[in-house]
Amino acid sequence: MRIVIYSMLVLLIAIQYPLWLGKGGWLKVYEMERQVELQEAQNSLLSLRNAKLAGDVKDLKDGTRAIEERARVEHGMIKEGEFFVQILPADKSSAPQATKQ
C-alpha cells in the first residue's frame, strides 16, 4: 500500500512541475503579463508624444504662427520695426555695498 501512495505522490509532483516551472507555466505567464503591462505603458507615453509631434507638424505646415513663435523663442529673431528688450535679474554681488565707518 505504501508503494502505491508514494508512486501516486511522485506522479502528482511530476504532473505539477510543468504547470509551475515549465515553458508555459504559471511563473512564465505571470512574468510575461508583467512585461506586457510595462510595454503598454511605454507605448501609451510614446503615442502621446507622437500626437504632440503630429500637432506641431500640422501647425508648421498650415500656419505661420508656429513658425514665427519658434523663430522668436529658439533663435531670438524679431520682426522689422520691433525692439527687443531683455531685463536681467539684479546681481547682488555687483551692487554697490555701503560700508559703515
Cell numbers describing residue 30? 505571470
Q: What per-residue confidence (pLDDT) applies to 14?
A: 86
In this prediction the pTM is: 0.49
Burial 41-78, CB ≥16 within 10 A → b, else e? eeeeeeeeeeeeeeeeeeeeeeeeebeeeeeeeeeeee
**Range 52-60 average pLDDT:** 88
Between the ranges 8-12, 63-67, 88-92, where is the mean pLDDT highest? Answer: 8-12
Kindly indicate the confidence band of residue 27, based on its pLDDT and cuts at 50, 70 and 90. Answer: confident
What is the percentage of the chain residues whose pLDDT exceeds 70? 91
